[in-house]
Amino acid sequence: MSSEVTRAVRLQDGWLVQVDLPNTHPVSQKGRFLFEALPSPNFNERPAGVEVDSVVVHCISLPERNHDATYPVDLFLNRLNTEAHPEFAELQGLEVSSHFIIDRQGKVLQFVSCDKRAWHAGVSAAMGRENFNHFSIGIELIGDIYSTFEPAQYTSLGELLALLRGTYALKFIFAHSEIAPARKTDPGPFFLWESFRKPNSYAIQLA
């Protein structure tokens, strides 16, 4: 890499892409997380005219409490061997996705263009609105509701949100448990909201 450029991340058609920016560029120090595109077939179109204004934060571990990203990735790509673990039997035939997974090292894996509708929220409602998949971006952190997340995951999440806000007018950030309280508990009590939203509010506020 030349010392005169910084490798940075940008969005193109809703996908993360790598660009080289001059070191003199005012934002060249942002958005330098590692990422990888792993296109999932599990998506469809957002409703016409919908504004993407929300983020839904999840956590995922397969089997539960295992912090390797391999099985969640396999799940989102419809290639999970459901005989690999007894817990996986109930996942047979499930077609799900999120826009992103952030692994324990802070690497960002992208499965669906943010311009498309990923299948992460399910039956959901908050603030008088339903079906959050229509207008939200889904971000899964590898982890579980029983343990803390890694600093590298928060760093990447913050940079990813800052990047997304350059393209989408994101106003709100929700826990999956807040939009589907009867069904979901993620990302759980150990997720630290302070850097991402205003106190006692769903309004995005980045540190």
Interface residues with Zn ion (CB under 5 A) are: 58, 176, 186
Between β-strands 35-37 and 108-110, what pairing exists: parallel, antiparallel or unpaired? Answer: parallel
Tokens of 198: 């205003």
Q: Based on CB atoms, which residue is closest to Zn ion, 176 or 197?
A: 176
Q: Report, in Å, the least distance between residue 101 CB and Zn ion.
A: 11
Q: Based on CB atoms, which residue is closest to Zn ion, 46 or 176?
A: 176
Q: Report, in Å, the least distance between residue 142 CB and Zn ion.
A: 12
The contacts of residue 190 (CB under 8 Å, 6+ apart) are 143, 145, 146, 147, 148, 149
Q: What does 126-180 look like in DSSP terms, one character per residue?
A: ETTEE-GGGTEEEEEEE--TTSPPPHHHHHHHHHHHHHHHTTS---EEEEHHHHS
Q: Report, in Å, the least distance between residue 43 CB and Zn ion.
A: 16
Q: Report, in Å, the least distance between residue 186 CB and Zn ion.
A: 4
Residue whose structure tokens are 């992460």: 120
Q: Which of 140, 159, 178, 194 is catalytic?
A: 140
Q: Based on CB atoms, which residue is closest to Zn ion, 117 or 176?
A: 176
Torsion angle, CA of 146/150/151/154, rounded to 10 degrees?
A: -80
**Beta-bridge partners for 57:** 139, 175
Is residue 159 among the annotated active site residues? no
Q: Based on CB atoms, which residue is closest to Zn ion, 114 or 179?
A: 179
Distance, CA of 165 to CA of 178 (rounded, Å): 22
Q: Catalogue the active-site residues.
A: 140
